[in-house]
Structure 1
Amino acid sequence: MPTAPPVAQTPRGLIAITISSVTWGLLPIYWNALHSVQPNTVLAYRIITTVVTMALLLVVLRRHRHFFATISKLWSNTRLFILAVIAALLISANWLLYIILVSVGKTLEASASYFLMPVMNMLIALIVLRERTNVYGWASLVLAAVGVCIFIAGSGGVPWLGLIMALSFCGYGLLKRVVPLDSWQSITFETAVVTPLAFLWILWQPGFGIVHQDLGVIILLMGAGIVTAIPLITFAYGVQHCQYLTVGFVQYLNPTLQFLSAILFLHEAINHTMLIAFCMIWLSLAVYSFALTAQYRATQKVIRNLQVDDAQHAAD
C-alpha cells in the first residue's frame, strides 16, 4: 500500500504551526472584547470579513482561477457539494457556539471541549468509521468520560453548549475527509456559502448591529476576518512542513492557552472539582498521545523495514 511521502520538518514550519495554535488559544480575549455585540452579529461580521480577506488573498496569490475551477468541479458532484455546504453550516455553528461561550463567561467550558476533541474524534472513528484502537485508546476514552462527569459535578450542570460545539467540529472534520478542498479553498467556500445569511442578519439589525458601539469595537469587528485567516494560513503551511506527530502535540497549546486566558485574563472562577476534571482530561490526552506516539513509531519501523527489504531485493 502506498504511503505518504515523508515531511521534512523545518523551523519555519514549526513556527507557523505554533503561531496558529497560539492565535487560536488567545482568541477568547479577542471575542470577549466584543461582548457588547450580539454573538449572532459578531459571527455575521466574522463570516463577511473572512470571505473578503480570503478572496483578496486568493487574487493576490493568483489562486482564484484554481479556486473557481475546483468549485466548478465540486458543483458537478451533487453529493460532494451538499456535504461541503453541510460542512460550512457546521463550522459556522461551531464559531457561533464558541463566541456565545466566551461572551457569557464560559471559556473554561470551551477549553474543556477543545481538550476533548481528539478523544471525541477517536470515538467517532470507532463508531462511524469502524476503526480499531488499542488498550491505550480505550483507557483515554474512559479517563475522558470520567473527566467530563467530574466537570459536570463541579460546574453544576451538563456543558451542553461545549459538547455540541465539540461535536460540530468533529462532524466538520469527518466531512473534510471526503470533500476535496484544501484549507484555502475550504475556508473561502464555507464562508461564501453562509455570507448571504450573514448579510441578511446584519441588514435586519438596527444600525447594522453596531449602533452605539465605540470605534474600538467596530475596528475589532472589521478585523475578525484577519484573525480568522491568519491561524488557518499558518496552520496550512505548518502541516506541510512539520511531522504530523509534531502538529498533534503543538495543537494542545490551543486549549491550554484558552484555559489560562479564562483564568488569568477573563477572570473566570474555577473550583477544585473542575480543576480535578481538567487533570483527568489532561491525563486522558497524555495516554492518547502515548498511543499515537507508539503507533507512529511502529509505522515508521515497518516503513524502514520495507525500505531495507526493497533495497536488498534491488541489490540482488
Structure 2
Amino acid sequence: MPTATPVTQTPRGLIAITVSSVAWGLFPVYWDALSTVPPNTVLSYRIITTMVTMVLVLALLRRHRSFLAAVAKLWKTKTLVLLAVIAALLISANWLLYIILVSVGKTLEASASYFLMPVMNMLIAIIVLRERTNVFGWISIALAGVGVCVFIVGSGGVPWLGLIMALTFCGYGLLKRFIPLDSLQSITFETAAVTPLALLWLVWQPHFGIDHQSTGILVLLMGAGIVTAIPLITFAYGVQHSQYLTVGFVQYINPTLQFLSAILFLHEAINHTMLLAFCIIWLSLAVYSFALIARHRHASRRKLASSAPGDV
C-alpha cells in the first residue's frame, strides 16, 4: 500500500488553511447579499464562473496540460468517469442546499450540519469502509446524535435540508477517495461536467435570470467563481504544507464563523435549546478531536518503536 508523503508544517501552510476556513465561514454573508436572486440561478452562475476561473488558474499555473492528461487517463475507466460525474452532482447539490438555507434564514442549520460532518464522515467510514474506531469515537457519534435531537426540539422540526446537505458533502468526500484527480483538477472537471446543466437553466430563464437586478448583484454573481476558487486554491496549498491534525482543527473555524455570522450579521434568532444543541455538538467534536490526537500519538509511538535499532 502506498504511503503518504511526509508533510513539514510551515507558517505559510497554516496561513493558507486558515484563509480557506475563514473564507468559507464568511460565505453566508456573501450568499445572503444574493437573496433576491433565485437559488438555482445563483448556483448556475457560481458553477459557470467557477469553471471559467479554474480554467484560467490552470492556464496561469501552466497546469492545463497535466489537467488534460489526467482527464484523458480518467476517461479510460468509465466507472471512474461515472463516479466523477456523481461527485459533481453531489457538490452541486451541496452548494444549492447551502444557498437555499442562507436565503431562507437558516444559516444556523447549515452551521450545525458542518459541525456534524466530521462525525458523519467517521460513521460512514465505519459503515461503508469497514474502518474501526475506539470508544471515544463511539462516544462522539452518540453525542452528535443527542445534539441533533436537541436541535430538532429547539428549532421545532427536523433539519432535513441541513442533514441532506451534510450527507451530500460526506458522499462527495467518499467518492473523492477513488477519483485520481488533485483538488484543482477535480473542481475544474466537476464544474465543467455540470456547466451544461447550468447553461440550460440560465437560457430557460428570462434575461438569463438577472432581469431588473442591480449592478451590485451582477458583480456578486460574476464574482462567485472567484470567491469559490480562492479558498479551494489556498486549501490545496495548505494541506500540502500542514500536518493532518492541524488541517482538522483549523477547519472548525468554518462552521464557527458560520454560527457567528448567522447571529451577528444575519440576525438569526437562537433560543436556549438550540444553543444547548450546539454545545453538545461542540462537545462531540472535542471528543472526536481527542480520539484523533490519541490515535496519532499511538501511531507515532508505534512508528518510533519499529524504527528503533534492536538490542545488540
TM range (shorter): over 0.9
2:78 match: 78
Shift of 1:2: 5.8
Aligned to 2:291: 291
* Residue correspondences, number: 312
- Residue 274 of structure 2 corresponds to residue 274 of structure 1: yes
Partners in 2 of 1:60 and 1:148 — Cα distance?
A: 44
Distance (Å, rounded) in 1 between the aligned partners of 2:295 and 2:307: 18
Equivalent in the alignment of 1:55: 55
Give the ranges of 4+ consecutive aligned residues of structure 1 lying more than 6 Å apart after TM superposition. Answer: none
The amino acid across from 1:178 in the alignment is F
Aligned to 1:219: 219
> Partners in 2 of 1:65 and 1:82 — Cα distance?
22
2:42 paired residue number: 42
List per-residue Cα deviations over 1:260-293 (Å, max 9, x = no partner): 0000000000000000000000000000000000
Q: Is 1:189 aligned to 2:221, yes or no? A: no
- Please give the TM-score of this superposition, normalised by the length of structure 2: 0.98
1:297 CA drift (Å):
0.7
For 2:300, the equivalent position in structure 1 comes to: 300
Counterpart position of 2:123: 123
Q: Which runs of 5+ in 1 are unaligned?
A: none
Are residues 34 and 271 of structure 1, via their aligned partners in 2, closer, same or farther at CA, if it must alter by over 3 Å?
A: same
AA paired with 1:130?
R
SS in 1 for 2:5: coil
Identify the residue that residue 13 of structure 1 maps to in structure 2: 13
Letter in 2 for 1:4: A
Task: Write the distance in 2 (CA, Å) between the matches of 1:179 and 1:53.
Answer: 22
Q: Distance in 2 between matches of 1:282 and 1:146?
A: 12
2-structure distance, mates of 1:5, 1:70: 20
| Cα separation, 2, equivalents of 1:175 and 1:6 | 24
RMSD of aligned alpha carbons: 1.0
- How far the C-alpha of 1:294 sits from its partner, in A, is 0.4
Quote how far apart the aligned CAs of 1:5 are. Answer: 3.1
Structure 2 counterpart of 1:92: 92
Displacement after TM superposition at 1:60 (Å): 1.1
**Aligned partners of 2:88 and 2:41: how far apart in 1?**
17
Pairs within 5 Å for 1:149-160: 149-160=149-160
Which amino acid is the alignment partner of residue 15 of structure 1? I
Where does structure 2 lack aligned partners over 5 or more consecutive residues?
none
TM-score normalised to the size of structure 1?
0.97
Distance in 2, matches of 1:45 and 1:3, equals: 39
The residue identity in structure 2 corresponding to 1:12 is: R
Check if 1:24 corresponds to 2:18: no
Q: Percent identity of the aligned residues?
A: 77
Q: Is 1:243 paired with 2:236?
A: no
CA drift of 1:48 comes to 0.3
User: After superposition, what is the alpha-carbon deviation per residue over 1:188-210, rounded to whole angstroms, capped at 9, x for unaligned?
Assistant: 00000000000110111111101
